[in-house]
């Protein structure tokens, strides 16, 4: 694990003056540990594999290294591949700020934006392209982007690209780049497929594991509240109203939930925007722009915003729903406490999600605030055995004669257990296909 305590300036790292001028304008003087570690290595021409969590400064690390070696008006010499359009746009924005005094231009290409807009920008000349895999391949097939001069290539959030099924696209793109280049791969986790990719395409890379086993998200006060699902909105509003230090991001599990929560907050006169998968690219960009510029106080989002979105003013993260993967919890709450600031993350746990929450809790290595205890809210989960006993006492027993499976109340379908048994008998008769449909069909 990488541990760097001494503060180092970018000037001491050998960053050229035109980039230092850009760094000064955005208020950066001292480098973060991942920058201190990787920039000199990349300057020397050696490949890098970096494992670092969000908010550690890796975007600036590879951007500075790329800008250091690129010459203006020399064609496309730098390529950054990112999993999502939001992350690609953000990377381009950061490169543009750093490159303000270098004469180097960066262009973003991603699906959802008109091809004509991107073609115009490329014709005007760009030395760096930041792209999502699918749209980059579209440009490669058109011939509007050529990779024969690429000298510096970055794969950012490589594990997310793997999860999204981009691995074959990545390999197709890499095969079109020169063998002689500096390459860096950054990922929050290192699954076997990512390690194989690094082994096949990187040349003797130096590995930097920045707090790789620390999922505590330093600087974030973490808390949880176990409540009934129908009570979540009330507590959400209370927590948002208490947050006086900055903006809030609310994470929901589905696009429908995102819309409902955003509408409810809007009706409560909060200044809120939303991001979810069914929104047009224009609306998504508009929402993010409003939130970044401080025109909106609250962003309600699905996990599309959990990776790579950097808004320094975010002081509070609320997990309205639990994420479907443990690691996503840490990516979500990593949207606060950026660049050494402090932040707070509150997770609302419905009764049905307590088991999933315990799995996530086992990964957290700092003490969390139990808001049930602090606020005096008791957890009152109905006992299913007691509920069945009460139902039988009220007359919901199966009849021993007459219509089989009929409840005393007159229901002709029988108990949930009876229905489950009947479905499984049907699946036995219908073979594997029937079993798949009847036995595994979601009750939702």
Higher pLDDT, 192 or 271: 271
Report the pLDDT value the prediction gives residue 19, as an integer from 0 to 100. Answer: 96
pLDDT tens readout for residues 106-135? 999 999 898 999 999 999 999 999 999 999
What is the average pLDDT across 227-240? 96
Alpha-carbon separation of residue 369 from 220, 222, 359, 360, 374 (angstroms): 11, 6, 17, 15, 8
pLDDT tens readout for residues 316-338? 999 999 987 777 788 788 888 76
Taken in order 201, 206, 212, 217, the sign of the CA dihedral is negative
Task: Decide which of 3.40.630.30, 3.30.360.10, 3.30.930.10, 3.40.50.300 is the CATH code for 8-209.
Answer: 3.40.50.300
What is the average pLDDT across 259-283? 90
Report the pLDDT value the prediction gives residue 305, as an integer from 0 to 100. Answer: 60
| % of the chain residues with pLDDT over 70 | 79
The pair of three-digit structure tokens given for residue 305, joined into one six-digit string: 């915003």
What's the CA gap between 301 and 283, in Å, rounded? 13
Find all residues with CB under 8 Å of 344, minimum gap 6, and list them.
220, 221, 222, 223, 243, 315, 316, 317, 336
Q: At residue 257, does pLDDT exceed 80?
A: yes
Q: At residue 423, does pLDDT exceed 90?
A: no
What's the CA gap between 196 and 193, in Å, rounded? 5
Alpha-carbon separation of residue 78 from 92, 198, 319, 327 (angstroms): 12, 18, 37, 30
Fold of 220-375: Rossmann fold (3.40.50)
pLDDT tens readout for residues 189-204? 778 888 889 999 999 9
Q: At residue 2, does pLDDT exceed 70?
A: no
User: Counting beta carbons within 10 angstroms of the beta carbon of residue 18, is it exposed (0 to 12), middle (13 to 18) or buried (19 or more)?
Assistant: middle
Find all residues with CB under 8 Å of 324, minimum gap 6, and list them.
253
What is the average pLDDT across 255-270? 94
Q: At residue 442, does pLDDT exceed 80?
A: no
Report the pLDDT value the prediction gives residue 63, as an integer from 0 to 100. Answer: 96
Higher pLDDT, 364 or 210: 364
For tokens 């096949």, the residue is 200
What average pLDDT does the chain have?
A: 82
What's the CA gap between 139 and 146, in Å, rounded? 8
Q: Are 8-209 and 220-375 equal in CATH topology?
A: yes
Q: Are 381 and 352 in contact (CB under 8 A)?
A: no
Residue 29 three-state SS: coil
pLDDT tens readout for residues 50-83? 876 656 688 999 999 999 999 999 999 999 999 9
Q: At residue 177, does pLDDT exceed 60?
A: yes
Q: At residue 248, does pLDDT exceed 90?
A: yes
Report the pLDDT value the prediction gives residue 215, as an integer from 0 to 100. Answer: 54
Higher pLDDT, 444 or 235: 235
- Percent composition of the chain: helix, strand, coil (DSSP 3-state, to 5): 45, 15, 40
Report the pLDDT value the prediction gives residue 389, as an integer from 0 to 100. Answer: 41
pLDDT tens readout for residues 146-161? 999 999 999 998 988 9
Task: Please state the domain extents for the chain.
Answer: 8-209, 220-375, 391-433
What's the CA gap between 328 and 342, in Å, rounded? 20
């Amino acid at each position: 694990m990488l541990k760097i305590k001494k503060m180092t300036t970018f000037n001491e790292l050998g960053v050229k003056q035109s980039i230092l001028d850009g760094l000064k304008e955005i208020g950066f003087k001292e480098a973060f540990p991942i920058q201190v570690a990787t920039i000199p290595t990349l300057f020397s021409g050696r490949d890098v594999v970096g494992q670092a969590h969000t908010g550690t400064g890796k975007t600036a690390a590879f951007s500075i290294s790329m800008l250091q070696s690129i010459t203006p008006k020399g064609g496309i010499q730098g390529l950054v591949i990112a999993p999502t359009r939001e992350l690609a746009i953000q990377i381009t924005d950061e490169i543009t700020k750093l490159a303000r005094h270098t004469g180097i231009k960066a262009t973003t290409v991603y699906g959802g934006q008109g091809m004509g807009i991107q073609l115009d920008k490329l014709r005007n000349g760009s030395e760096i392209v930041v792209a999502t895999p699918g749209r980059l391949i579209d440009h490669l097939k058109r011939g509007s982007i050529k990779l024969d001069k690429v000298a510096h290539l970055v794969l950012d959030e490589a594990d997310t690209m793997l999860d999204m099924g981009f691995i074959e696209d990545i390999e197709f793109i890499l095969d079109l780049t020169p063998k002689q280049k500096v390459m860096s791969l950054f990922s929050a986790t290192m699954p076997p497929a990512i390690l194989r990719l690094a082994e096949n395409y990187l040349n003797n890379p130096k590995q930097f594991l920045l707090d790789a086993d620390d999922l505590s998200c330093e600087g974030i006060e973490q808390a949880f509240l176990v409540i009934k699902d129908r009570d979540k909105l009330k507590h959400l509003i209370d927590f948002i109203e208490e947050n006086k230090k900055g903006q809030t991001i609310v994470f929901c599990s589905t696009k429908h939930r995102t819309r409902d929560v955003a509408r409810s907050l809007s009706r409560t006169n909060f200044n809120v925007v939303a991001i979810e998968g069914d929104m047009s690219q224009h609306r998504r960009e508009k929402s993010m722009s409003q939130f970044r510029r401080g025109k909106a106080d609250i962003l309600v989002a699905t996990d599309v915003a959990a990776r790579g979105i950097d808004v320094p003013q975010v002081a509070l993260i609320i997990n309205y729903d639990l994420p479907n993967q443990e690691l996503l919890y840490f990516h979500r709450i990593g949207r606060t406490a950026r660049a050494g600031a402090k932040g707070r993350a509150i997770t609302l746990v419905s009764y049905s999600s307590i088991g999933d929450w315990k799995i996530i809790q086992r990964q957290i290595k700092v003490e969390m605030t139990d808001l049930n205890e602090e606020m005096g809210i008791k957890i009152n989960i109905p006992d299913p055995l007691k509920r069945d006993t009460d139902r039988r006492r009220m007359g919901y027993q199966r009849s021993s004669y007459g219509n089989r499976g009929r409840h005393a109340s007159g229901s002709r379908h029988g108990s949930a257990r009876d229905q489950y048994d009947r479905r499984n008998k049907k699946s036995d008769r219908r073979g594997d296909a029937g079993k798949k449909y009847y036995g595994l069909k979601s009750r939702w």
